[in-house]
Chains A and B, each alone.
Chain A
Amino acid sequence: MIVKDVLDILEGEIICEGDLDQEIKTACGSDMMSDVLAFVKDQSVLLTGLVNPQVVRTAEMMDMACIVFVRGKMPDESIIKLAETRGITLIKTRFRMFTACGLLYTNGLSGGTKV
């Protein structure tokens, strides 16, 4: 799956455009950034309902290519600027967290860890 597929599956809207052709291998859905930081996975997408600059910083540390804001949440200008300088794609989807994760999962994206 590539970033563009995530955008299509979640019927999302691009807020900040990075590399849409970058491959995505795993996903992580959480509002707790420390939980995200606890599991290093390569080439991941982060789904979150949290809207603050630390979401982008977390993605930066984890080498994540893409952040999806669920439930139609819109990040402010400072968050968008930060993502721009880091080359991270920001997507907004109207789906709620559970549904958004489920849609990606049923389309073949896994959590990347065995339980």
Chain B
Amino acid sequence: MSNAIHLHYDVSGEDFTRAGEASGAVKKTLKKLGYNSDAIRRVAIAMYEAEINMVIHADGGFVDIDIYPDRVEVLLSDHGPGIPDVEKAMQEGFSTAPDNVRTLGFGAGMGLPNIKKYTDDMRIETTIGVGTNLYLTVIVNQP
């Protein structure tokens, strides 16, 4: 579709305090475009959890967002260690995050389950030692 609005953000893996900047920016853009607040929240939360994952596990990466009238597509791509067992990673409560992440309020094993819950489609492409691509789609109402 040619009428998509494309956004791109690099996610720094060095600064945990900045994780969420891209999600916040996308949220703002969607608000400006007039999408309904429920859909915006679903995009923002799913993307935010994914962004946090990227910083915790993969030393950052990049996010590509395509905004269509009826849906928002997000690709989060990293060159991290990959996910050895995707099925396990999808279970609520399963986490491989280091302890220091827990003191920051994350690492409870809710990231991927939350992302799945808030998106209409979620696809993971992951290769050990190469990285992970996470594709998300959220269906939205016409603005």
A positions within 8 Å CB-CB of B? 31-35, 37-38, 40, 48, 50, 52-55, 57-58, 60-63, 78, 86
Beyond A34-B105, A34-B108, is A62–B45 a contact (Cβ under 8 Å)? Answer: yes
Q: Within the complex, what minimum Cβ distance (angstroms) separates B100 from chain A?
A: 12
Residues of A close to B17: CB separation below 8 A: 52-54, 78
Enumerate 20 A-B pairs (CB-CB under 8 Å) in ascending A order: A32-B106, A32-B108, A32-B110, A33-B106, A34-B49, A34-B114, A37-B48, A38-B114, A40-B45, A48-B105, A52-B105, A54-B104, A57-B19, A57-B20, A60-B24, A60-B44, A61-B45, A62-B45, A63-B37, A86-B24
Report Cα–Cα, A53/B118, bound state, in Å: 23
Report Cα–Cα, A106/B78, bound state, in Å: 47
Cβ–Cβ contact B104 & A52, under 8 A: yes
- Answer whether residue B111 sits at the interface, using C-beta atoms and an 8 A cutoff: yes
Q: What's the dominant secondary structure at chain A's contact region?
A: helix
Q: Within the complex, what minimum Cβ distance (angstroms) separates B39 from chain A?
A: 11
Count, chain B residues at interface, CB 8 A: 29
Nearest residue, chain B, Cβ from A86 = B24
Report Cα–Cα, A80/B19, bound state, in Å: 17
Cβ–Cβ contact B27 & A37, under 8 A: no
Residues of B close to A78: CB separation below 8 A: 17
Report Cα–Cα, A78/B17, bound state, in Å: 9
Residues of A close to B19: CB separation below 8 A: 54, 57
- Answer whether residue B117 sits at the interface, using C-beta atoms and an 8 A cutoff: yes
Residues of B close to A62: CB separation below 8 A: 41, 45
